[in-house]
Amino acid sequence: MELTPTILFKNHTGEELAVLLAPFGVNPKLAGKLQSAVLRNALDEVPKVMEQTSWRVLKKVENATRIPTLQLIDKQVSPRDGFTKYLFKGEGDEPFETVRIPLLHVKGQEKYVVCVSSQVGCAMGCAFCATAKMGFRRNLQPWEIVDQVIQIRKDSSYPVRGVVFMGMGEPMLNYDKVIQAATILREPCGLAIDARNITISTVGVVPGIRRFTREKQPYRLVVSLTSANSEKRKSLLPVENTHSLEELMSAVREYQEYSGVRMMLAWTMMSGINTSPEDAKEIARLTAGMPVKIDLIDVNDPTGVFLKPSAEELKTFRDSLNAELGQPVVRRYSGGQDINAGCGMLAGLHMVEPDKTSCASMPSHS
Ligand code: SF4
């Protein structure tokens, strides 16, 4: 006898649930109602009662499905800025982290953005990132990504209006699961988060960017550039050895032309390494003719090898960017550093110790 496989609720889009639940007498409208009841109310079992629905149908759905839920291992709130870091366990033994970013400055419009992980650990080896030091452990399943948002919504007194795939992992290396999760987060019977408020970030995995463009994905894309000089980039972001700046920028231009949006390029600033007027010139050369926005982020390196620029260095760099580029340059606040929740600081239970052998600042790679 063939056993019916268990349907994992949070793994499926509304359309898939409609097909999977049809044999149990569920029509597409009811499938949508069930999906929204489970996801929006963070239920861990199928409702026992629903308007205009027979209990027999609900019982059959209950028997055929499972609603997996992440286990919360730890939660830390930054006393400095309210950033909150959650440590979750999903299908495997290794926990992973999620950060809740508070946007509470406009009275009456308080909201949160959730920074989700897409993998446990990461294979990309970026020089300044704590996650890189863990190495790659595994890809997260769609439900494990979706449930990071569901559990944080449940724990929050203001709505979650945005999701950024900037936690642990390189989203483009778990492409199918990431896009599946983003679909569930955005669809009307899912969590109904506006696609324009879902941002997928990559360090430069070109096949993923090209696929994202080809598939006309509605989400925002951010590419971490961090150096516009190939040799320097190789020493900071090893992805440059596989996908060169030339190849990357060709894929980025293709995406920008199709989407028509101003291309967001992230730049992790490291003192003495990538914040000189020459770096600004190189960015201008690389992006000539393309509408871009440069997103400056201070490096957060718990080992102390890479340092953020001083106020004076930052000002010179910004002035050079404004003069060379003539396009928007913003500085992203990277909060939660006091609880190791800042960009590049997520390492699960793995402690990242200060590097006592290194001097305070690396010599310039240029
Ligand atoms: S910065 Fe992102 S892509 Fe690079 S190692 Fe860290 S998690 Fe991976």
Q: Is the CB of 169 under 6 A from ligand 1?
A: yes
Question: Does ligand 1 have an atom closer than 6 angstroms to the CB of 239?
Answer: no
Whole-number Å distance between alpha carbons of 354 and 356: 6
pLDDT in tens, 322-362: 999 999 999 988 788 888 877 788 777 665 554 443 332 22
Within 10 angstroms of residue 56's Cβ, the number of other Cβ atoms is 10
Give which of 274, 152, 127, 146 is closest to 203, Cα–Cα.
Answer: 127
144 CA distance to ligand 1 centroid (A)?
A: 19
Residue-averaged pLDDT of the chain: 92
Q: Could you read off the pLDDT of 71-94 as tens digits, one per residue?
A: 999 999 999 999 999 999 999 999
Is the predicted pLDDT of residue 290 greater than 70, yes or no?
Answer: yes
Half-sphere exposure for 298 (CA within 13 Å, toward CB): 16
The DSSP 8-state label assigned to residue 42 in this structure reads: T
Residue to substitute in 96, 98, 124, 243 for testing ligand 1 pocket (most ligand atoms within 8 angstroms of CB)? 124
Give Cβ neighbours of residue 203 (< 8 Å, ≥ 6 apart): 124, 126, 170, 223, 224, 237, 239
Nearest CA to ligand 1 atom 6: 129
Please check whether residue 263 is in contact with residue 223, taking contact to mean a CB–CB distance below 8 angstroms: yes
What pLDDT, in 10s, does the model give residues 139-191? 999 999 999 999 999 999 999 999 999 999 999 999 999 999 999 999 999 99
pTM of full prediction above 0.75: yes
